[in-house]
Amino acid sequence: MQRPERGSDPASSLFLVKRKKMDQSKYIS
């Protein structure tokens, strides 16, 4: 997984955070 560069598109950062939360919930449930 590539880390978004500093000052990069905030939308991509939000997307990564969302995907991260989805992955966590997937493991939890």
pTM: 0.42
Q: Are 29 and 21 in contact (CB under 8 A)?
A: no
- Residue-wise pLDDT tens digits, 1-29: 566 566 567 777 888 888 888 888 877 65
pLDDT score for 2: 65
For the chain, counts of helices (H) and of strands (E): 1, 0
* Interatomic CA distance for residues 26 and 8, integer angstroms: 27
